[in-house]
Amino acid sequence: MSQYRTFTAADAVAYAQQFGGLDNPDELVDAREIGDGNLNLVFKIFDIHHQSRIIVKQALPYVRCVGESWPLTLDRARLEAQTLVEHYRHCPQHTVKVLHYDAALAVMVMEDLSDHRIWRGELIKGVHYPAAAQQLGEYLARTLFYTSDFYLHPHKKKALVAQFINPEMCEITEDLFFNDPYQIHERNSYPAAIDADVAALRDDPALKRAVASLKHSFFSHAEALLHGDIHSGSIFVADGSLKAIDAEFGYVGPIGFDVGTAIGNLLLNYCGAPGQLGIRDAAAAREQRLTDIHELWSTFATRFTRLAVTDTRDAALAQPGYVEDFLKKVLSDAVGFAGSELIRRSVGLSHVADLDTISDEEMQHACLRHAIELGKALILIAGQVDNVDELVIRVRQYS
Ligand code: ADP
Ligand code: MG
Ligand code: MG
Ligand code: MG
């Protein structure tokens, strides 16, 4: 068994030579650490032609963006690798391929997606990938259906729950999504100009009661193996291609959480668009985001329903009409989780570039206020939204 040590660039090259599965591993000569995330080391490994060929990702025993004062389990590397491997089994076209991982070193080797771009950056620039929303819907339908009780034998399902017990990463979500924004907390961060809007979150019993229900669902609804952090910065896109990465928050939780995180990030982009593109160009970008949300949900629901008709193993769950009932509940959950994503990315610890990189301060504050108001509204009306047209109508209403 290897022992944990933090990789240098040279370690990463040697590791990629050994486990990258390349025909000419000796051609791998160089590595650059490119991690831009909050948590981990990511090395891009180059060959003698300066071509990047493979990626080595290693978990650090603490939160990278905070430092050693916030320790964090190395087991997340196993959870990330195993979640991606499981999702790849069910949806290889939209999941990054993991080539190797080592639990003790908390390291994995994966395919290099340097010919793709992170979706968030493209969304911010207004670059449209016409297939992306549908492909994300397809990814969510396949990964979530095939890891749910619709498909798995009850014994296999319970083994899956046990395999993906992820208490420390779940606790981060439990705190950052559902607690911090609704209380005074040193981790929160937002401009003083929106103080009153944030104070109103703390002073809204109906909102906090709805958030309690979302958190309770996140705690207890073991519906399927979630990605757990499927925001637009965990998604690579290229012409006609979409790949999910970065699944270290993977655990068996409520399906609406993944769907809602995906929708919530499209809505964060929607809220930030006037600040990024100017008010005139933002109108078209916003219409496109609403179309994206419609396509994402419609594809997800159509595919999930079709899989339920052809591949449901449990006789009771195969009862005609049940999957439609279930998906109504998933949409309501997703609307609530999308609302909580809007709020926590506006006032909590971890922000998104869609709002953070708006240079005009007044405009940024207006966009942040919009995200908070829309988030609040969605959390409060989630239970009444049972089709995606209704969701789009509601989003327009709060614009
Ligand atoms: P973290 O868990 O620290 O957020 P990520 O998995 O999101 O790390 O990776 C951080 C960055 O590294 C990504 O935003 C991307 O730029 C780059 N990256 C990660 N995986 C790959 C890959 N397979 N191919 C190319 N670049 C990658
Ligand atoms: Mg990341
Ligand atoms: Mg805590
Ligand atoms: Mg990550």
Q: Looking at the chain, how many residues does it have? A: 399
Question: Mean pLDDT over all residues of the chain?
Answer: 97
| Environment class of 258 (CB within 10 Å of its CB; exposed 0-12, middle 13-18, buried 19+) | buried
**Interval 127-170: pLDDT, tens:** 999 999 999 999 999 999 999 999 999 999 999 999 999 999 99
Considering the entire predicted model, what is its pTM? 0.98
User: Ligand 1 pocket check: which of 33, 36, 38, 42 to mutate, most ligand atoms within 8 Å of Cβ?
Assistant: 42
In the chain, ranges of CATH 3.30.200.20 domains:
9-111
When pLDDT is averaged across residues 22-41 and rounded to a whole number, the result is 91
Q: Which two tokens stand for residue 32?
A: 């650059």
Eight-class DSSP state of 6: P
pLDDT of residue 39: 86
Total Cβ atoms within 10 A of residue 6: 12
Q: At what angle do helices 255-277 and 388-397 cross, to 10 degrees?
A: 40
**What b-and-e string marks burial along 82-113, b requiring 16 or more CB atoms within 10 Å of the CB?**
bbbebbbebbeebbbebbbbbbebbbbbbbbb
Q: Which two tokens stand for residue 345?
A: 């990315």
The CB-side HSE value for 225 (13 A sphere, CA atoms) comes to: 33
Superfamily of domain 9-111: Phosphorylase Kinase; domain 1 (3.30.200.20)
248 is in an annotated binding site: yes
CA of 231 to the centre of ligand 2 (A): 9
**Interval 359-398: pLDDT, tens:** 999 999 999 999 999 999 999 999 999 999 999 999 999 9
Superfamily of domain 117-397: Aminoglycoside phosphotransferase (APH), C-terminal lobe (3.90.1200.10)
Residue 287 has pLDDT above 80, yes or no: yes
State ipTM: 0.97
Give residue 1's pLDDT band: very low, low, confident or very high (50, 70, 90).
low
**Interval 196-233: pLDDT, tens:** 999 999 999 999 999 999 999 999 999 999 999 999 99
Distances in Å between the alpha carbon of 345 and those of 139, 229, 260, 363, 368? Answer: 24, 13, 13, 17, 9
Q: Which two tokens stand for residue 168?
A: 């420390």
269 is in an annotated binding site: no
With a 6 Å cutoff on the Cβ, whether 65 touches ligand 1 is no
40 is in an annotated binding site: yes
In the chain, ranges of CATH 3.90.1200.10 domains:
117-397
Give the H or E element holding residue 52. strand 52-59
